[in-house]
Amino acid sequence: MRFSCFAVIFGFGLITSAALPAAAQSGGAAALAGTDTTNDPVQTLVNRLDLERYKNTIKGLAQFGDRRQGTKRNRDAVDWIEAQLKQYGCQNVERITYQYNPPPPTQRTGRGRGPVTSPNGHGYAGNGPGGSRIFSDMREHGVNTDSLAQPDPKIRAIDAEPSTPGERQEVICMKVGTKYPNEMYIIGGHMDGIGWGQAVNDDASGSAIVMELARIFSMPDVHTERSIRFALWNNEETGLNGARAYVEQRAAMQGKEVPAGSGKYPEPKWLAMIQHDMMLVDHGPPTPDGKLAPEQRAGADINIEFASTSKFADEAMKLAFFWRAANEKYATDYPAAVGPHMSNTDSDPFKDLVPALSLRENERGSQIGGNWDPTHHQPTDVLTTFTDKDYLLGLTSAQTTLGAIGRLVGATVR
């Protein structure tokens, strides 16, 4: 499902309604459309995004292979992310700690792929509470579990350690608002991967967006009226467990001043949650031999999705159109489309608590479900698979989110 240009224009009229998060009401899409970008501080921040820096952040994550949860390579990646965020000067860098003790894995038979061990005991796509149950009758591949399918011996060696149950950690940090520190937007991506590759697209590409935005908003000359949470989720591939742990631990803390009278809010009130998951590949359907088409398709775009069945569907839809308007104003290379199929990513645990969006390379339904990205959970999800045209799709998504969130939090440069 796609929305027409008429719907987008109509959305501009709705964006300032009371249903949208309060911070958006003074900066709706109509106002955004009239912004003079010559003197726009948000444009200044968007201009600080750089393709090579974005690629280098992805490479930094890829050095830890697929970063599968429950392994040393995952823990090393968590350490690296924390060090990077501290180096950027991001405020309140901390870790969410939780336990992951799944039931023993079950054996399933993949289509023409032999026995497949489900990493979460639910389904063999492995990225959602029910794995890939919605699209199991389409062409979406299961998780590669064959080490020998990875031809690069160095990557194969990095990915060799199996996952074990136990303690898990993920890193978060903040940009504290100067006027409304007790309200915040959550920007997320998941740092874990699976499939005997380097998890470059799924999801170093989204995690790098979060880290690059944290870097830019943490610059000393950048100020925001409202707060921003930057979250690098763990355990997405096992059923969104890291995001679920955050919701379980933090939802009740929202908006509480600790200690009383200090002006400090460890968990400001959530205004919205925006997830970035698989940001590089919009090549169209796979080639007849099931491989990735060699070039980004002419109609490549970013998919901004909300869940039409969520409790905040109406508000999330309006927020999605706000993101689309930000893409039109601030993005340099690829357009964006709005759709209602958000699922199977870390925004799911938030969708009935706050307006939630996911940004992705393809529609979750017909495109990802139809195997438009044959590198998904495969050993081909490595740095050498992708070109600058692919990385530009991710950078465009970063521009889109930075433009939208910069307006919503009242960003200025001094």
Instruction: Check residues 249 and 9 and name the one with the higher pLDDT.
Output: 249
Whole-angstrom distance, CA of residue 345 vs CA of residue 327: 22
Residue 69 corresponds to which tokens in the numbers above? 């949860």
Give per-residue pLDDT as tens, 360-386: 999 988 898 889 999 999 999 999 999
Residue 257 has pLDDT above 60, yes or no: yes
User: Residue range 325-345: average pLDDT?
Assistant: 97
Residue 104 corresponds to which tokens in the numbers above? 């023993």
User: Residue range 334-350: average pLDDT?
Assistant: 97
pLDDT for 369: 86
Q: Count CA within 13 A, CB hemisphere, residue 75.
A: 10
Phi, psi (rounded to 5 degrees) for 188: -135, 160
| pTM recorded for the entire structure | 0.88
Phi, psi (rounded to 5 degrees) for 98: -155, 170
CA 320 to chain centre: 14
CATH number at residue 324: 3.40.630.10
Whole-angstrom distance, CA of residue 135 vs CA of residue 382: 24
pLDDT for 314: 98
Range of the domain at 199: 5-95+151-413
Instruction: Check residues 180 and 121 and name the one with the higher pLDDT.
Output: 180
Give per-residue pLDDT as tens, 23-42: 455 444 555 655 565 789 99
Q: Would 123 be classed as within a structural domain? A: no
User: Residue range 42-48: average pLDDT?
Assistant: 98
Q: Would 137 be classed as within a structural domain? A: no
Q: Would 251 be classed as within a structural domain? A: yes
User: Residue range 309-330: average pLDDT?
Assistant: 98
Q: Would 179 be classed as within a structural domain? A: yes
Q: Would 134 be classed as within a structural domain? A: no
Q: Would 105 be classed as within a structural domain? A: no
Q: Would 117 be classed as within a structural domain? A: no
Radius of gyration in angstroms for the set of CA atoms belonging to the chain, rounded to a whole number: 20
Residue 161 has pLDDT above 70, yes or no: yes
Whole-angstrom distance, CA of residue 368 vs CA of residue 230: 26
pLDDT for 35: 55
Report cis status (omega within 30 of 0) of the bond before 349. Answer: no
Q: Would 108 be classed as within a structural domain? A: no
Give per-residue pLDDT as tens, 129-147: 333 333 333 355 789 999 9
Q: What is the torsional sign of CA 311, 315, 318, 320?
A: negative
Neighbours of 33 (CB within 10 A): 12
Residue 16 has pLDDT above 70, yes or no: no
Residue 388 has pLDDT above 90, yes or no: yes
CB 165 within 8 A of CB 101: yes
Whole-angstrom distance, CA of residue 227 vs CA of residue 209: 18
Give per-residue pLDDT as tens, 264-290: 899 999 999 999 999 999 999 999 998
- If one counts the domains in the chain, the total is 1
Comparing CA positions, the residue from 305, 192, 205 lying closest to residue 245 is 192
